[in-house]
Amino acid sequence: MMLSRVLSGDLPRNRLLTAVLIVIVAALALAPFVFPGAKALNVAAKICIFIVLVASFDLLLGYTGIVSFAHTMFFGIGAYGVAIALTRLGPSWAAVGAGIAGALALSFGLSLVIGLFSLRVKAIFYAMITLAVASAFQTLASQLSEITGGEDGLNFKVPEMLSPGFSLAQQPFLGVSLDGKLISYYLLFAITVALFLVMLRIVNSPFGRVLQAIRENAFRAEALGYRTVVYRTSSNVLSAGFATLAGALLALWLRYNGPDTSLSFEIMIDILLMVVIGGMGTMYGAVVGATLFVIAQNYLQDLMKLASGAAAGIPLLPDLVHPDRWLLWLGVLFILSVYRFPAGIVGKLRAGK
């Protein structure tokens, strides 16, 4: 009962899916203790950040039926907000707050303007406009090098408690030293859980139902008396806000931000793949998709290196399974999932109870 309240009544509704989600959450919660090493912790943190980012994109794409290519722009605004504030104001919590507040204000303003300007027309038009705006923003960020650090990006110090040098206790706990990295990770994890539950709440509210109605049939929703433009724009603004927060988390974790880490078009494509493979319009799809993708990104290459070595001598095949070509296979998986199981892994699991 309690759990159902926390999950806003939107349970996984499938045994296997429940099991998968429990494993993912447990693994993320215990990551520093179960998976030792800096790389594993980085992967876990990246999964957390992308869960927020992908869930916020799902709010827009899966629940409202809007394709936006400007999602990384808001992600980047959040990351740059924190990065610039910490560079300028020094490493303090006030600076983090100021950076996030400034970034949120900018994101809200921008998403509101873009939404009102172009959400009145067809989905396809919106997709193209956001693509153009996002690429202009990326150019802008790399050009304003006095503020953003240009192509090199910004390296900055985070509040002392989160910096790797800080230590909570002399004695390591269960073999893990209680340093700033660990605190950062748990802060990140807690915020991820909180933001995810908030988004789950939003999509299961009456407001979320209207968004789904607009996705299914915008004309009908309008005829029922809902101002679709208002709802679409609100969805756009909300999703931009969550993406901004995800960006802020990224900057705090990496203690660095540059155009390639938060603004690039490649990340946009990654998000799209995660949402679709995980399952659009399910929220849990974001968890499954982000986990699968980030793990594939970091570990599939090792596997492919083995395959590539094994296939040596056969023409073309070694090139196809070359470790750098991992995106090729995820792209194929993406196309197949759009055709074969449009509701992604989560939808497939739920359908086959």
Partner 1 sequence: MSSSAATAPALDALPAVRPDRLPLLLLPALALVALPLMGSFSTWVTLTVAGLAMGMIIFIVASGLTLVFGLMDVLNFGHGVFIALGAFLATSVLGAMADWTASENLLLNLLAVLPAMLVAMAVAGAVGFAFERVIVRPVYGQHLKQIMITMGGLIVGEELIKVIWGPQTIPLPLPAAFRGALLLGDAAVEKYRLIAVVIGLAVFAAMFWVLSRTKVGLLIRAGVQDREMVESLGYRIRKLFVGVFVAGSALAGLGGVMWGLYQQNVTPQMGSQVTVLIFIVIIIGGLGSVGGCFIGALLVGLLANYTGFLAPKVALFSNILLMVLILLWRPQGIYPVANR
Nearest to partner 1 of 61, 251 (CB atom): 61
Determine the 3-state secondary structure of 257 from DSSP.
Answer: strand
Residue 25 near partner 1 by CB under 8 A = no
Residue 122 near partner 1 by CB under 8 A = yes
CA distances, 336 to each of 186, 211, 307, 326, 342 (Å): 36, 26, 22, 16, 9
Going residue by residue from 126 to 165, which x/- string records binding to partner 1, judged by CB under 8 A? -xxx-xxx-xx--xx--x----------------------
Helices (H), the chain: 2-6, 15-34, 38-58, 71-89, 93-118, 123-143, 145-148, 180-203, 206-216, 218-223, 228-254, 259-262, 265-278, 284-295, 301-310, 317-320, 326-340, 344-351
Residue 124 near partner 1 by CB under 8 A = yes
Tokens, residue 331:
């792209």
Rounded to the nearest 10°, the torsion over CA 183, 46, 128, 234 is -40
Candidates 272, 295, 300, 311: give the one binding partner 1 (CB under 8 A). 272
| Integer Cα distance of 33 and 346 in angstroms | 28
Candidates 93, 125, 173, 186: give the one binding partner 1 (CB under 8 A). 125
| Integer Cα distance of 344 and 279 in angstroms | 4
Residue 186 near partner 1 by CB under 8 A = no
Nearest to partner 1 of 125, 299 (CB atom): 125
| Integer Cα distance of 113 and 107 in angstroms | 10
Residue 319 near partner 1 by CB under 8 A = yes
Shortest distance, position 316 Cβ to partner 1, whole Å: 8
Taking the alpha carbons of 88, 140, 273, 109 in that order, is the dihedral positive or negative?
A: positive
Per-residue DSSP letter, 299: I
Residue 305 near partner 1 by CB under 8 A = no
CA angle at 301 for the pair 297 and 307, rounded to the nearest 5° = 145
Residue 307 near partner 1 by CB under 8 A = no
Task: Provide CB contacts within 8 A for 220, sequence distance 6+.
Answer: 213
Residue 93 near partner 1 by CB under 8 A = no
Shortest distance, position 343 Cβ to partner 1, whole Å: 12
Count of residues touching partner 1 (by CB under 8 A): 39
Candidates 18, 29, 320, 323: give the one binding partner 1 (CB under 8 A). 320
Going residue by residue from 196 to 235, which x/- string records binding to partner 1, judged by CB under 8 A? ----------------------------------------
Q: Could you list the residues that contact partner 1 (CB under 8 A)?
A: 61, 65, 67, 122-125, 127-129, 131-133, 135-136, 139-140, 143, 265, 269, 272-273, 276, 316, 319-320, 322, 324-325, 327-328, 330-332, 334-335, 338-339, 342
